[in-house]
Amino acid sequence: MKKHNFSAGPSILPREVIEKTAQAVLDFNGSGLSVLEISHRSKGFEAVIAEAVSLFKELLNIPEGYSVLFLGGGASLQFCMVPFNLFEKKAAYLNTGVWASKAMKEAKGFGETIEVASSKDANYTFIPRNYVIPADADYFHITTNNTIYGTEIHTDIDSPVPLVADMSSDIFSRPMDVSKYALIYGGAQKNLAPAGLTFVIVKDEILGKVSRYIPTMLNYKTHIAEGSMLNTPPVLPIYSALETLRWLKVNGGLVEMEKKNIAKAELLYNAIDNSRIFIGTAAKEDRSRMNICFVMKPEYAELEGDFLKFATAAGMDGIKGHRSVGGFRASVYNAMPIESVQALIDCMHEFEKQH
């Protein structure tokens, strides 16, 4: 039976990326050695890093004056690394979910942290609007896609202060204007690579302006100077990321990814909206293209457990919703084929017929 991987993360990767990564584990570029055992400072692996950085810049159309870093620690380490490098007097945060809230919590340890708006009272079912970004803030932090609640910021917002974005779960899902951001970061385990890799895109000129001492491992300038080689980087996820970047380029880049992601999301949301027993949880104007959250209508709530068993038996893997929301979550990242989305819809229709 075919498995359809709707896991929120670590999540689906293109099959050819998995196969090429597996081959590199056995034999890296015909060297007779595994990518797991070669030196990260060998010419072979330095070429991997160089090409990955180059493709990052090409696919995202990153302007001059930005650096791309490959680090460890996940997005969670960036929650404190960002204020370490940028926070001098005041920071501003948009609270749209658990991860945004955790990022803001770390910033509060550095001083005055402004929550410009929050949708917490509505269980983060929408993206706040009409808020005011303090013009004297050192930076403004957003989380562009909220995996738990299924909401997403679909456009590149204008900010009067340096804009920082956690793009862990929607990077490379659409074309974007990187010039509007001072810093973009994320864990790679959604749309890019296996767990263990963190990417950072940072505008060089915003660094070196804080008065505090920054620990060496937490200083972006140190990692830039060392070309992401200050210490041994996560070599296997970086190699896998390179294969994903190559896959993205061959398959039409981000314009094509966005078309496919819109098509997949619309297909599933239409099925939910036209269902007799299912209902979406996020505000329609803020629905995520990456993480589609839905529940049973109240009169059918007792069937949630039955549907989860039914769907799992039909090969739908990872659709159980986060415990704070309940219900179901279908994560449809770049590598998710539309055929799998249709398979889930067919499963929903069949369950609905039976009830």
DSSP for 26-54, written as a single string: H-STTSSS-TTTS-TTSHHHHHHHHHHHH
In degrees, rounded to 5, the angle at the alpha carbon of residue 69 between the alpha carbons of residues 68 and 70 is 135
Same domain, 246 and 319: no
Residue that is last in its domain, among 231, 250, 269 = 250
Per-residue pLDDT reduced to its tens digit, 147-193: 999 999 999 999 999 999 999 999 999 999 999 999 999 999 999 99
- Quick one: 278 and 301 in the same domain? yes
Q: What is the pLDDT of residue 323?
A: 87
Q: Do 34 and 167 fall into the same domain?
A: yes
What mean pLDDT is predicted for residues 247-254?
98
What number is the average pLDDT over the span 119-142? 97
Residues 197 and 208 in one domain: yes
- Residue 3: inside a domain, yes or no? no
Mean pLDDT across 219-234: 96
**The total number of structural domains that make up the chain:** 2
Q: Are residues 190 and 52 in the same domain?
A: yes
The whole-angstrom separation of Cα 233 and Cα 236 is 9
Verify that 133 and 210 share a domain, yes or no: yes
Q: Strands 90-95, 112-118: parallel, antiparallel or unpaired by DSSP?
A: parallel
Looking at the domain assignment, is residue 201 inside a domain? yes
Active site residue 286: no
Active-site pick, 138, 166, 170, 286: 166
Can you give the CATH number for the domain in which 289 is found? 3.90.1150.10
Exactly one of 20, 138, 170, 190 is catalytic; name it.
Answer: 190
CA 82 to chain centre: 17
Q: What is the DSSP letter of 132?
A: -
Q: Provide mean pLDDT across the span 14-18.
A: 97
Kindly state whether residues 262 and 204 are assigned to the same domain: no
Report how far residue 273's alpha carbon sits from residue 266's, in angstroms, rounded to the nearest whole number.
10
Helix, strand, coil percentages (3-state) for the chain, rounded to 5, are 40, 15, 40
Active-site residue flag, 190: yes
Q: Are the C-beta atoms of 218 and 84 separated by less than 8 Å?
A: yes
On whether residue 1 sits in a domain, the answer given is: no
Q: The domain spanning residue 71 has which CATH number?
A: 3.40.640.10
The confidence score (pLDDT) of residue 152 equals: 98
Tokens 């060392």 correspond to: 226
Mark whether 181 and 302 lie in a shared domain.
Answer: no
Residue 152 lies in a domain: yes
Of the candidates 99, 170, 203, 264, the residue annotated as catalytic is 99
Do the Cβ atoms of 325 and 293 come closer than 8 Å?
Answer: yes
Q: Which of 75, 73, 37, 81 is nearest to 235 (CA)?
A: 37
Is 41 among the domain residues?
yes
Helices (H), the chain: 15-26, 43-59, 74-86, 98-108, 220-225, 235-250, 253-273, 304-313, 338-354
Q: Is 141 part of any domain? A: yes
Average pLDDT over residues 65-93: 97
Indicate if 87 and 216 belong to the same structural domain.
Answer: yes
Q: pTM of the predicted model, to two decimals?
A: 0.97
CB distance 119 to 98 below 8 Å: no
259 with 302, same domain? yes
Q: Is it the case that residue 1 has pLDDT exceeding 90?
A: no
The pLDDT score that the predictor gives to residue 37 is 95
Residue 53, pLDDT score = 98
Is position 54 within any domain?
Answer: yes
Q: Where is the domain boundary, 250, 280, 299? A: 250
The pLDDT of residue 324 is above 90: no
Residues 269 and 235 in one domain: no
307 falls within a domain = yes
Question: Is 325 a residue whose pLDDT tops 90?
Answer: no
Query: Which of 86, 347, 287 has its CA nearest to residue 204?
Result: 86
Report whether 280 contacts 149 (CB < 8 A).
Answer: no
Mean pLDDT of 326-339: 97
Say if residues 9 and 322 touch (Cβ distance below 8 Å): no
**Which of 203, 224, 250 is the last residue in one of the domains?**
250
Judge if 273 and 244 occupy the same domain. no
Active site residue 166: yes
Closest CA to 101 of 152, 164, 143, 131: 143
Percent of the chain surpassing pLDDT 70 = 100
Mean pLDDT of the chain: 97
Domain that residue 131 falls in: 15-250
